[in-house]
Amino acid sequence: MATEPEPQGPARRSPPAQAVRTAAGHALRTATAGLPVPPTGRGLPGRGGDSTPDWLEPAMAANGIGSFDWDIRRDILEGDQRACDILGLDPDRFDRSSAAFLALLHPEDAPVVSRRVERAVAELGQCGAYYRTVHPGGEMHAVRFRGRVLADAFGRPSRMVGFVWDATVELHKREKAGELAALREERSRFIKEAARALSEAVTVRDVARVFTELPLPGLPPDGLVLASMEAGRLAILGASGYRSELIARHDRSPLAADHPMAFAVRTRTPVFIADRDEYRERYPEAWEQLGAGTGRSSWAFLPLVVSGRAIGVCVVSFDDDRELDADERTLLSTLGGLVAQSLARAQLHDAEHELAASLQRVMLPRAVPSVPGVTTAVRYLAAGSGLQIGGDWYDVVPLPGGHVGLVIGDVQGHDVHAAGIMGQLRIALRAYAAEGHPPAAVMARASRFLADLDTDHFATCTYAEVNVDYGVVYAVRAGHLDPVVRRADGSACVLPVAGGLPLGVDPDEEYRVTRFSLDPGETVLLCTDGLVEARGMDLDTGFDRLCEAVAAPLPARDESAREPLEELADRVAARAADSSEREDDIALLLLRWDGPSGGRAAQQLRRRIGQADLARISELRGELRDALRRWQVPDLIDTAELLSSELVTNAIRHTDRDAMFTARLYQAPGQGRARLRVEVEDESDLWPTRRTPGEQASSGRGLMLVEALADGWGVEPRGSGKRMWFELSAEGPAPTDGQVY
């Protein structure tokens, strides 16, 4: 084959052999056309004319070199016996023309030889090439020739003389060297690709996946196993080419001391076994226990060594006997080193991430309490790696009077410090809420608590108190996201809530309360910003996607099926940004108000009014209005609101303790009208005194109003303090069994 291939066109096709030879012969004849033919009678060297020197013949014979002489103008080709043997031709049958010579060559080599000879003739120079010939027996041989064009007395090309020798062995060596070079290049490329893939593997599972999918160049394995050593036991992390039951049988099993894996780990050197007999001879006990049942015939056990310590082993096995050469062993050993470094890094990552996740789980509530009248669902999705945990949290707090508080928040930062602050803040806020403080006071106290910690961290938070009796929500927001509400008709929208500064920024911040109502079956959703913000997605787009997910139809409620609210929580979490795009944790809290039992609200309203919390009186009036409207006695709203405000204000002004407000709607036995009873309890022993104020007096008319407008009123002593009450009668529905709700 020619060593200098000619350039080919874009649509290269091998022409038929006869056409190639005919064209090549025509080219040679064209190149020598018009040259004068010399007189006959002149012989070739060693053939009746000039003779080969005696000292040259033994050298040519010893090196297997033949000579040839081509008369260019007469197109006669002659050669010695060695040249004929090398070319594989019969001198008696060879017509000695250039066309007949070209017919002996491989169709791909004939044009190359023809062009080089034509150029040498035109330039009176020399040429040479490799080419392939087929001997009469059918075997393929490679031949190399070197020739020079000689000129006649007029400077015109006359003859080409030269040498030929068999280059089959040399060509095979060159081909073998080329194959080895290509294989080395492929292995070098494989090492680079393996290093890149293993460097991108984050978890132990990723490392196992990459290792078991590696295509080893030149020696494709039939089986791969990656295992770590844990307290003398073999923990299989990943495998391919083996039956799952075989892997399960050996996973977490003790490793015998004479097993080749144990030897590789103990000595930190690879173990290569070429065939079954070698395995049986070197490790007889391990062969009986493990090796005989694998169905393999040769193995490579590669220890995974990091900082002088073996952390595991990887096994490469083959179905046939295989004696690995030095290059193959070097490749496998290099691969073992890469896997070891990647596995150690992944194990550290998994350990750190598990530590962070455990810390996060400890900080979050272990279980969400069940509150009659509402259904809740929570989700937490961690993001980041290692110890990069967030300060996101949620909480559900049972409140006095059977109500429930919802908390969602996020502490600034993504580290263990942020998680620790989150745990302290969650407990403090839960305690403030459980004491019965109104939402604004709960948020203000939590902000003051975080500021007193002096951590240089702030937190965003939303706290909502849900009146389970009649579905009214009182929400307070401290730099956090607005809630999303899913209405009874299936639509979803973002509900604006008055906001304040994040917790810890200003200890004296006062927060405003936003009040909204839920109908039975409606759901309120609270979340952290990881759910609606990600790379390439702004907040508005995130909220649009969230509302779309929340508004999608829910499965029908069925006792045998899963809770629809859990399905909704799964759907919302599943549509969150993928972990490769999401940079923050996600906390998600959903609450559905199921409505009162029997479809009617519980007919009792109970609230504690703080001594210094005068704003609570205004909130109480609003709650009472809602309650009476739901109890279907709207005619009592104005009178009940006025008289209740008078009793509560009187208790707050003339005592130094909190007051407890209770309103009940009931039907006394034997009466057809519903009656509203309102009670205000305090711990003061000072009884109210009815007095007649002057025309210019600004106070003193409270009891006069109660006496004038109420159907009945009075003061009752208690063990500590007193209870003031009044009753109003109303037309409208009421319980028929006389039971107070």
Amino acid at 102: L
Cα three-residue angle 370-375-377, rounded to 5 degrees: 90
Strand partners of residue 605: 663
Taking CB atoms within 8 Å and a gap of at least 24, the contacts of 543-548 are: 543/484, 543/494, 545/575, 546/484, 546/492, 546/572, 546/575, 547/484, 547/492, 547/493, 547/494, 548/492
The SS3 call for residue 428 is: helix
Cα three-residue angle 280-286-291, rounded to 5 degrees: 70
Phi first, then psi: give them for residue 64, nearest 5 degrees.
65, 40
Instruction: For residue range 21-56, list pLDDT tens digits in order.
Output: 444 455 455 544 444 444 433 333 334 334 556 777
User: Among candidates 615, 425, 434, which has minimal Cα distance to 512?
Assistant: 615
User: Among candidates 422, 413, 467, 465, which has minimal Cα distance to 446?
Assistant: 422
**Quick one: pLDDT at residue 271?**
92
Amino acid at 358: S
User: Does residue 696 have a pLDDT over 50?
Assistant: no
- Read off the pLDDT band of 688 (50, 70, 90): low
376-388 CB burial, b ≥16 within 10 A, e <16: bbbbbbbbbeeeb
Contact 455, 421 (CB under 8 A): yes
Task: Please give the average per-residue pLDDT across 514-541, as a whole number.
Answer: 85
Contact 365, 395 (CB under 8 A): yes
Contact 588, 379 (CB under 8 A): yes
List the domains of the chain with CATH numbers.
17-37+48-166 (3.30.450.20), 184-354 (3.30.450.40), 371-598 (3.60.40.10), 603-730 (3.30.565.10)
Contact 679, 725 (CB under 8 A): yes
Contact 239, 226 (CB under 8 A): yes
List C-alpha distances in Å: 601 to 133, 195, 404, 426, 626: 103, 66, 16, 31, 11
Q: How far apart are CA 445 and CA 455, in angstroms?
A: 16
- Read off the pLDDT band of 221 (50, 70, 90): confident
Phi first, then psi: give them for residue 492, nearest 5 degrees.
-135, 145
Please provide the average confidence, as pLDDT, over all residues in the chain.
79
User: Among candidates 686, 675, 684, which has minimal Cα distance to 740?
Assistant: 675
List C-alpha distances in Å: 194 to 198, 218, 432, 651: 6, 15, 56, 79
Instruction: For residue range 566-621, list pLDDT tens digits in order.
Output: 989 988 888 775 444 556 788 899 999 887 654 555 577 777 787 777 777 888 88
Task: State the virtual CA torsion across 346, 351, 353, 354 in degrees, nearest 10.
Answer: 140
Q: Any idea which residue has 């909190």 for tokens? A: 658
Contact 70, 114 (CB under 8 A): no
Task: State the virtual CA torsion across 229, 234, 237, 238 in degrees, nearest 10.
Answer: 130
**Quick one: pLDDT at residue 736?**
41
Q: What is the DSSP letter of 599?
A: G
The SS3 call for residue 328 is: helix
Q: How far apart are CA 450 and CA 457, in angstroms?
A: 8
List C-alpha distances in Å: 715 to 604, 621, 687, 709, 712: 20, 22, 8, 16, 11
311-325 CB burial, b ≥16 within 10 A, e <16: bbbbbbbbeeebebe
Token digits of residue 232: 């003398």
Q: How far apart are CA 110 and CA 17, in angstroms?
A: 9
User: Among candidates 188, 193, 202, 194, which has minimal Cα distance to 338?
Assistant: 194
Contact 143, 133 (CB under 8 A): yes
What is the DSSP code string of 24-42? HHHHHHHHTTTPPPPPS-P
Q: How far apart are CA 275 and CA 320, in angstroms?
A: 8
Task: State the virtual CA torsion across 281, 269, 266, 286 in degrees, nearest 10.
Answer: -20
Q: How far apart are CA 128 and CA 564, in angstroms?
A: 85
Share of the chain above pLDDT 90, in %: 16
Low-confidence winner among 321-335, 383-397, 448-462 (lowest mean pLDDT) = 383-397
Contact 394, 589 (CB under 8 A): yes
Q: How far apart are CA 623 and CA 619, in angstroms?
A: 6
Q: Where are the alpha helices (DSSP H) in 631-700?
A: 637-653
Q: How do 472-478 and 499-500 pair as beta strands?
A: parallel
**Quick one: pLDDT at residue 539?**
84
Question: Residue 675: which H helix or E strand, with range?
Answer: strand 674-682
Our measurement of the distance from residue 633's CA atom to the centroid of its chain's CA atoms, rounded to an integer in Å, reads 58
User: Does residue 741 have a pLDDT over 80?
Assistant: no
**Quick one: pLDDT at residue 579?**
45
| Residue 365 CB contacts under 8 Å (≥ 6 apart), including other chains | 394, 395, 396
**Quick one: pLDDT at residue 689?**
60
- Read off the pLDDT band of 464 (50, 70, 90): very high
**Quick one: pLDDT at residue 497?**
92
Instruction: For residue range 256-270, list pLDDT tens digits in order.
Output: 788 888 888 888 999
User: Does residue 655 have a pLDDT over 90?
Assistant: no
| Number of helices followed by number of strands (H, E) in the chain | 19, 27
- Read off the pLDDT band of 562 (50, 70, 90): low
Task: Please give the average per-residue pLDDT across 509-519, as a whole number.
Answer: 87
Other beta carbons within 10 Å of 418 = 21
Q: How far apart are CA 603 and CA 666, in angstroms?
A: 8
99-117 CB burial, b ≥16 within 10 A, e <16: bbbbbbbbbbbbbbbbbbb
- Tell me how far apart the terminal alpha carbons of the chain are, to the nearest angstrom: 105
Share of the chain above pLDDT 70, in %: 81
Phi first, then psi: give them for residue 387, nearest 5 degrees.
-90, 15
